[in-house]
Chain A
Amino acid sequence: MPGYIHRMHEKMGENRTYAQFLPNTSRIDYLSAMHYTHAFVGVVERALKLEVPPRAEYIRVVTSELNRISSHLVWFGAFLLDLGGFTPLLYAFDDREKILDLLEGVTGSRLTYCYYRFGGVCNDVDDDFIRGTREFVEMMRPRLKLYRELVTDNIILRKRLENIGPIPAEMCRKYGATGPVIRGAGVPYDVRRMEPYSVYAGLDFEVPTHPEGDCMARYLVRMEEIGQSLRIIEQVLDRLPEGPVLAKAPKTVKLPPGDYCYAVEAARGRFAIRVTSDGKDIPYRVRLRAPSFSNLSLFEEASAGMMLPDALAVMGSLDLVIPDIDR
Chain B
Amino acid sequence: MNIPEPFRLLLFLAGTMAFVGLNAAYLVWVERKGAGRFQRRTGPTEVGYAGLLQPIADALKLMSKQLIVPPGVDATLFRLAPLLVLAPAMMCFVTIPFSETLVARNINVGLVMVFSFGSIHVMAIMLGGWASRNKYAIISAARIVSQNVAYEIPMLLVAVTLLMVTGTMNLHEIVQQQAGGFWNWNFFRLTANPLMPVTFVIFYICMLAETNRAPFDMAEAESELVAGAFTEYAGMGFGVFFMAEYANVVIGCSLATVLFFGGWQSPIGVLPGVFWFLLKLYLLVFSVIWVRWTFPRTQFYGLLNLSWKILIPLSLFILVLTSAMMKLF
Give the interface of A toward B (CB within 8 A).
Answer: 80-87, 90-91, 94, 150-151, 154, 156-157, 159-160, 307-310, 312
Interface membership of B8, Cβ < 8 A: no
Label chain A's interface by main secondary structure. Answer: helix
When distances are taken between beta carbons in the complex, the residues of chain A under 8 Å from B232 are none
- For this complex, 9 residue pairs linking A to B, each with C-beta atoms less than 8 Å apart, are A84-B214, A84-B222, A84-B296, A150-B294, A156-B215, A156-B295, A307-B301, A309-B221, A310-B299
CB closest chain-A residue, reference B298: A156
Whether A159 lies near B221 (C-beta < 8 A) is: no
Q: Is B38 a contact partner of A309 (Cβ separation < 8 A)?
A: no
Residue of A90, A94, A156, A310 touching B296 (CB-CB under 8 A)? A156
A83 to B299, CA, bound (A): 9
A159 and B38 within 8 A (CB): no
Residue in B40, B217, B302 whose CB lies within 8 Å of A84 = B217
Q: Compute how far the CA of A10 lies from the CA of B150 in the bound complex, rounded to whole angstroms.
A: 54
A309–B297 CA distance with the chains assembled, in angstroms = 10
Q: Could you say which residues of chain B place their CB within 8 Å of the CB of A80?
A: 296
CB-based nearest B residue for A83:
B296
Q: Does B146 contact A (CB under 8 A)?
A: no
Cβ-closest 6 pairs across A and B: A84-B297, A85-B296, A90-B39, A83-B296, A82-B223, A84-B296
Residue from B38, B40, B224, B296 in contact with A160 in the complex, judged by beta carbons closer than 8 Å? B296
Q: A84-B223, A156-B215 are in contact. List 19 more A-B contacts (CB 8 A).
A: A83-B223, A83-B296, A83-B297, A84-B214, A84-B296, A85-B294, A85-B295, A85-B297, A87-B35, A94-B40, A156-B295, A159-B299, A159-B302, A160-B299, A307-B299, A309-B221, A309-B297, A309-B300, A310-B299
Q: Which of B39, B222, B297, B300 contacts A87 (CB 8 A)?
A: B39
Q: Among A81, A87, A310, which residue has the most Cβ atoms of chain B within 10 A?
A: A87
User: Nearest chain A CB to B265's CB is how many angstroms away?
Assistant: 35
Q: How many Å lie between the Cα of A90 and that of B43 in the bound state?
A: 12
Kindly state whether residue B26 has any CB partner on chain A within 8 Å. Answer: no
A154 engages B300 (CB within 8 Å): no
Residues B26-61 near A (CB distance < 8 A): 35, 38-41
Q: Given A87-B293, A90-B40, A312-B224, A159 and B35 touching (CB < 8 A)?
A: no
Cβ distance B31 to chain A, nearest Cβ, rounded Å: 12
Give the Cβ gap from B247 to chain A, nearest Cβ, in Å: 23
A86 touches B35 (CB 8 A): yes
Q: Which residues of B contact A157 (CB under 8 A)?
A: 296
Q: Are B302 and A160 in contact (CB under 8 A)?
A: yes
The CA of A209 and the CA of B41, in the complex, are separated in Å by 35
* Chain A residues closer than 8 Å to B222, beta-carbon distance: 84
Of all chain B residues, the one with the shortest Cβ separation from A313 is B299
Closest residue on chain B to residue A157 by CB atoms: B296
Measured CB to CB, the closest approach of chain A to B172, in angstroms, equals 38
Per-position 1/0 for B288-329, Cβ under 8 A of A: 000001111111111000000000000000000000000000
Tell me if B296 and A91 are in contact (CB < 8 A).
no
Overall SS of chain B's interface: loop
Residues on B with beta carbons closer than 8 Å to the beta carbon of A83: 223, 296-297
Given A83-B223, A84-B215, A86-B293, A91:B298 Cβ within 8 A: no
Nearest-neighbour CB distance to chain A for B289, whole angstroms, equals 12
Chain B residues with CB below 8 A from A150, complex form: 294
Contacts of A86 in B (CB 8 A): 35, 39, 293
B221 touches A154 (CB 8 A): no
* Cβ-defined partner of A91 (8 Å) among B35, B39, B297: B39
- Interchain CA distance A80-B35 in the complex, whole Å: 16
Query: What separation, in Å, do the CA atoms of A310 and B297 have in the docked complex?
Result: 12
Contacts of A308 in B (CB 8 A): 139, 224
* Most central of B217, B221, B298 by chain A CB within 10 Å: B298
- CB <8 Å contact, B296 and A307: no
Counting chain B CB atoms within 10 Å of each CB, the highest count among A84, A85, A160, A312 belongs to: A84
> How far does the alpha carbon of A174 sit from the alpha carbon of B258 in the complex, in Å?
61
B-chain residues with CB within 8 Å of residue A81 when the two chains form the complex: 223
Q: Kindly provide the distance from the CB of B228 to the nearest chain A CB, expressed in whole angstroms.
A: 12
In the assembled complex, the Cα of A309 lies from the Cα of B219 at a distance in Å of 12
Chain A residues within an 8 Å CB radius of B301: 307
Closest chain A residue to B302, Cβ basis: A159
Q: When A80-B296, A84-B214, A154-B296 are in contact, do A91 and B40 touch as well, CB less than 8 Å? A: yes
In the complex, are the beta carbons of B223 and A312 less than 8 A apart?
yes
B292 nearest CB neighbor, chain A only: A86
A58 to chain B, nearest CB (A): 33
In the complex the two chains form, is B38's CB within 8 Å of A87's CB?
A: yes
Complex Cα distance, B303 from A309, in Å, reads: 12
Q: Are A309 and B296 in contact (CB under 8 A)?
A: no
List residues of chain A with CB within 8 A of the CB of B221.
Answer: 84, 309
Q: Which of B207-225 contact A (CB under 8 A)?
A: 214-215, 217, 221-224
How far, in angstroms, from A247 to B118 measured CA to CA in the complex?
Answer: 74
Q: Which residue of B lies closest to A311 (CB)?
A: B224
Q: Closest B residue to A89 by CB, please name it.
A: B39
Give A91 to B294 CA distance when docked, in angstroms: 12
Q: How far is the CA of A154 from the CA of B214 in the complex (A)?
A: 15
Task: Give the distance in Å from the alpha carbon of A160 to the alpha carbon of B298 in the complex.
Answer: 7
A159 closest partner in B (C-beta): B302
**B38: nearest residue on chain A (CB-CB)?**
A87
User: How many whole Å from A75's CB to the nearest CB in chain B?
Assistant: 15
From 255 to 305 in chain B, residues with beta carbon under 8 angstroms from any chain A beta carbon are 293-302
Which chain A residues lie closer than 8 Å to B38 at the CB level? Answer: 87
> Smallest distance from the beta carbon of B308 to chain A beta carbons, Å?
15
Query: In the complex, which residues of chain A have a beta carbon less than 8 angstroms from the beta carbon of B214?
Result: 84
Residues in A whose Cβ lies below 8 Å from that of B293: 86-87
